Amino acid sequence: MTSLPYQGTPTPAYSTATETPVITTTDLTKVYRSRGREVTALDGVDLHVREGEVYGVIGQSGAGKSSLIRCVNLLERPTSGTVTVAGQDLTALAGRGPRAGKELRRARSRIGMVFQHFNLLSSRTVQDNVELPLEILGKSGKERSRKALELLDLVGLADKAGAYPAQLSGGQKQRVGIARALAGDPKVLLSDEATSALDPETTRSILQLLRDLNRQLGLTVLLITHEMDVVKSICDSAALMEHGRIVESGTVSELLATPGSELASALFPVDGEATGDDRTVVDVTFHGEAATQPVISQLSRTYNIDISILGAAIDTVGGLQVGRMRIELPGRYEDNVVPIGFLREQGLQIDVVGQEPVLLVEGAK
Amino acid sequence: MTWSEMSPLLSQACWDTLYMVGWSALVAVVGGLPLGILLVLTDRGGLLQNVLANRVIGQIVNVARSMPFIILMVALMTFTRWITGTTIGREAAIVPLAIGAIPFFARLVETAVREVDGGLVEAVQSMGGDTWTIVRKVLVPESLPSLIAGTTTTIVALIGYSAMAGTVGAGGLGDIAIRYGYQRFETELMWITVAILAVVISLVQFAGDFAARSLHGRSGRSGPAPKLRLLKAT
């Protein structure tokens, strides 16, 4: 009946993620003290971002995402724990005073950052905004303007070099913000809710730009967001934050393969009830190689059974087709042991809805 | 008094006023700008947080601002003599005028600089900028329209103060109005002086507003500003 999974727009590029860690935080804590009250924003966070991947940290406001991303370039000083970016222990560079020393400032200049509210200087033109980090790096005027124009071209705003930020739309402002963040040739880009102030259409185009930059430049992107769609559309890996802790993390495939993963079920929500007592409802999770096989129609043909699809959420995440589908087979579970076994043999993760969790564990690989 | 008698008096007075106000405004800006920025930087949560220094600077500014100008002038006589070698005349008046205007302008600078979005500071920090870079490339340029408005207010206030400079023989328009107009009942001369003062102040205000507005215009904030502000708040 159908060849699965199907997705709309083919993405030719594949994940540029490697195994080299580029951002690592160990047991990071951040406690804010004000007027005798203590608020723990980060509570022992271990984050591992690999080189070349797009890593999304998702959580509700107040979960500590913002503190986390600010601790990565030490705009916030962690109370304890270490932050390593590109092999450099930033927490060791920080020194004891509240002000950033020369070493830390140099390290920061190699980490790009984009902001929710863009944070462009209204007194400078677009080009001068992009040149600002280069001025800080002490580049010559000629070099600055060459680089700035090159970056504006890269983000598609070459014709706006002389405009002031107030004359731009939100999406254009964020493009300038991204161009500015790339001026110091960073290996790592931090994105602090970069699309949260934008409309859905513009959000998509900015995410696409981040994705392209990740692919073209091998740029590692660490982003925080409260929108599941952002993670879904561009992230290779994701972490879920709650109350200052990372409660789940991994590549999208890994998350999908984890039975009971909150993040996976939020990314790929499936529901639908059995249409009768003598029916078996099965959740099929596609990730990795098996996702390219037309398994459902094979199943239908091989065992000559009618399969109803109750719900499905299939997407392309990090260039791989992943997702979940809830299907209904005629007959009770006992009658369907063989077809379910067939699905498992295809390398799919099968969760039989309403069965003992022990079966779920069997299902995962 | 005939016009031919008044005219040299008035032109000399105009010149004296501009001379005193011009120099003291210059000193006020040069002294008040760093002081105002320091007030912001040393404040709690500031880039150079130093609560003690902040309190000391704040107190000095408050005391200086609360002193009536005529008393300040007398209190500063020794200092004035040390700087200019005299306690009378235009040069001698510039010293107390400038000293009085520095804390006044510093408070205006403080207010203007506080208005700068903290996100911009954070952005420059994330690029590896130090405090001095932030002051030069963010705080001052971003608050420039407000700083110009503050300078205008300071110059207008200085024109007012300068009327009292007559007590140390510095001359100026205010001095003419008091000595000839008020004390010698030369009503006509008094009104002419007042009219000239009004014109001078209007011109200063107009020039200041124009400069501030053209800067706003450059960054496009005069046009779609309210809409953008709303967007930012959401």
Which domain does A303 fall in, by range? Answer: 268-363
Q: Please give the mean pLDDT across all residues of chain B.
A: 87
Instruction: Kindly tell me if the per-residue pLDDT of A2 is higher than 60.
Output: no
* pLDDT beyond 50 at A4: no
For residues A92 and A238, state if they share a domain: yes
Contacts of B49 in chain A (CB under 8 A): 98
Residues A221 and A92 grouped into a single domain: yes
Question: Does A350 reside within a domain?
Answer: yes
- Domain-located, residue A345: yes
In a shared domain, residues A33 and A69: yes
Residue A364 pLDDT greater than 50, yes or no: no
* B3/A23 Cα distance (integer angstroms): 82
Cα A95 versus chain centre, distance: 31
Chain B residues touching A124 at Cβ < 8 A: 141
Q: Is residue B234 part of a domain?
A: no
In terms of domains, do A102 and A195 share one?
yes
Tokens in use for B142? Answer: 């971003």
pLDDT > 90 in chain B, percent: 53
Question: pLDDT tens, B69-122?
Answer: 888 888 888 999 998 888 888 888 999 999 999 999 999 999 999 999 999 999
Q: Is the pLDDT of residue A318 over 80?
A: no
Strands A111-115 and A188-192: parallel
Does residue B169 contact residue B88 with C-beta atoms inside 8 Å? yes
The structural domain count of chain A equals 2
Task: Give the end of a domain, one of A257, A283, A311.
Answer: A257
**A98 vs B49, B215, B219: nearest CB:** B49
The answer on A274 and A211 residing in a single domain is no
Q: Are A98 and A232 within one domain?
A: yes
Res B31: pLDDT: 95
Structural domain contains residue B229: no
Is residue A35 a part of any domain in this protein?
yes
Cβ within 8 Å, pair B127-A184: yes
pLDDT tier at B186 (50, 70, 90 boundaries)? confident
Under DSSP, the state recorded for B161 is H
What are A193's two structure tokens?
Answer: 């809710």
Residue with structure tokens 């309210």? B226
Are residues A244 and A337 both part of a single domain? no
Among A257, A281, A303, the domain-final residue is A257
Please give the Cα distance from A189 to A54 (Å, whole number). Answer: 9
CB-based contact A197 B49, cutoff 8 Å: no
d(CA A42, CA A65): 8
Does A164 sit within 8 Å of B124, measured CB to CB? no
| Contact between chains at B218 and A113 (C-beta distance less than 8 A) | no
* A260 C-beta neighbours (distance < 10 Å), count: 10
Q: Which amino acid is it at A163? A: A
Task: Report, as an integer, the average pLDDT of A83-108.
Answer: 85
CATH of the domain at B60: 1.10.3720.10
Length of chain A in terms of residues written: 365
Selected residue of B42, B47, B49, B126 to mutate for chain A interface (largest A Cβ count, 10 A): B126
* Mean pLDDT computed over A44-62: 92
In a domain, B91, yes or no: yes
The per-residue pLDDT of chain A, averaged, comes to 85
- pLDDT for position A358: 44
A75 at interface of B, judged by CB pairs closer than 8 A: yes
Residue B219 confidence class, pLDDT cut points 50, 70, 90: low
- A26 neighbors A81 (Cβ within 8 angstroms): yes
Q: Is the CB of residue A124 less than 8 Å from the CB of residue A111? A: no
Residue A103, in any domain of the structure = yes
ipTM of this complex prediction, to 2 decimal places: 0.81
pLDDT, mean of residues B166-171: 79
pLDDT band at A8 (very low <50, low <70, confident <90, very high): very low
Kindly indicate the confidence band of residue A365, based on its pLDDT and cuts at 50, 70 and 90.
very low
CA distance A173 to A181: 12
C-alpha to C-alpha distance for A322 and A313, rounded to whole angstroms: 9
Query: Could you give the CA distance from residue A126 to residue A139 in angstroms, rounded to a whole number?
Result: 18
Rounded CA separation B218/B151 (Å): 19
Which sign, positive or negative, has the C-alpha torsion A132, B138, B24, B161?
positive
Give the closest-approach CA distance of B45 to chain A in angstroms. 10
A115 to chain B: which residues are within 8 Å by CB? 119, 122-123
Check CB contact under 8 Å for B122 and A100. no
CATH of the domain at A93: 3.40.50.300
More confident residue, A242 or A360: A242
* Residues A196 and A319 placed together within one structural domain of the fold: no
Q: pLDDT confidence of A14, banded at 50, 70, 90?
A: low
Question: Tens digit of pLDDT for each residue in B19-60?
Answer: 999 999 999 999 999 999 999 999 988 888 899 999 999 999
Rounded to a whole number of angstroms, the distance between the first and last alpha carbons of chain B is 66
Percent of residues, chain A, with pLDDT higher than 90: 50
pLDDT (mean) for A5-16: 45
All residues at 6 or more sequence positions from B195 whose CB lies less than 8 Å from its CB, including other chains:
none
Rounded mean pLDDT of A47-52? 93
Residue A145 belongs to some domain of the structure: no
- One domain, residues A106 and A85: yes
Pair (A195, A341) in one structural domain: no
Per the model's pLDDT, the better-predicted residue between B199 and B228 turns out to be B199
On whether both A233 and A354 belong to a single domain, the answer is: no
Which of A91-100, A152-161, B175-184 shows the highest mean pLDDT?
Answer: A152-161
Range with the poorest average pLDDT among A53-62, A86-95, A348-357: A348-357
Query: What total number of domains does chain B contain?
Result: 1
Helix, strand or coil, per DSSP, at residue A83: strand
**Residue A352 maps to which CATH number?**
3.30.70.260
Task: Place B218 in a pLDDT band, splitting at 50, 70 and 90.
Answer: low
Give the H or E element holding residue A221.
strand A220-225
Q: What is the pLDDT of residue A361?
A: 43
Judging contacts by C-beta atoms under 8 Å, the chain B residues touching residue A73 are: 126
Q: Which domain holds residue B18?
A: 3-114+131-221
> Any chain B CB within 8 A of the CB of A338?
no
- 3-state SS, residue B159: helix
pLDDT at A257: 77
State whether the Cα torsion A149-A152-A156-A157 is positive or negative.
negative
Residues of A in Cβ contact (< 8 Å) with B127? 108-109, 132-133, 136, 180, 183-184
* More confident of the two residues A3 and B25: B25
Instruction: Report the 3 state secondary structure along A43-58.
Output: EEEEEEEECCCEEEEE
* A344 and A272 within one domain: yes
